[in-house]
């Protein structure tokens, strides 16, 4: 069987309205239990739109650039304020990172240049 689906070929000049229509149509045709990865989005707003449409995973340069710099979208994990913050990245989120690691731990990984933080 198929483990998941990739929606690719977008982000090449189509209008945001057309992209939204395409993603909605594709997601509606896919089994809801299978993960859906969207390639080709580039802004935080496009991330939010894709997630609201049922996209589970994203492949985009913005996220790689942000996390490579130690940022989680609007959160600067390099900041000393996170040194003792035991909250998950997003309170209430059940993803692996939020369920397993505190902001303080992620801050520590960045400060010590751990490979898992890169």
Q: What is the pLDDT of residues 62-75, one digit of tens each?
A: 767 777 888 776 77
- Residues 64, 109, single domain; the answer is no
Which residue range is the domain that position 84 belongs to?
A: 70-118
- Across the range 73-102, mean pLDDT stands at 88
**Tokens standing for 4?**
């998941």
**Tokens standing for 8?**
């690719």
- Tell me the pLDDT tens digit for each residue of 25-53: 999 999 988 899 999 887 778 888 888 89
Predicted TM-score of the model (pTM)? 0.56
- Residues 42, 59, single domain; the answer is yes
Distance CA 5, CA 13 (A): 22
Domain count, the chain: 2
- Residues 74, 53, single domain; the answer is no
- Residues 42, 79, single domain; the answer is no
- Residues 3, 54, single domain; the answer is yes
- Across the range 67-93, mean pLDDT stands at 86
């Amino acid at each position: 069987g198929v483990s998941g689906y990739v929606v690719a070929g977008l982000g090449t000049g189509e209008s945001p309205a057309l992209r939204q229509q395409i993603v909605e149509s594709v997601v509606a045709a896919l089994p809801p239990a299978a993960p859906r990865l969207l390639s080709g989005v580039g802004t935080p707003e496009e991330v939010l739109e894709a997630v609201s449409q049922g996209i589970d995973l994203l492949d985009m340069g913005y996220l790689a650039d942000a996390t490579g710099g130690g940022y989680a979208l609007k959160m600067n994990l390099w900041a000393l304020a996170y040194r003792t913050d035991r909250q998950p990245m997003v309170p209430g989120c059940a993803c692996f990172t939020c369920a397993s690691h505190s902001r303080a731990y992620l801050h520590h990984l960045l400060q010590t240049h751990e490979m898992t933080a890169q």
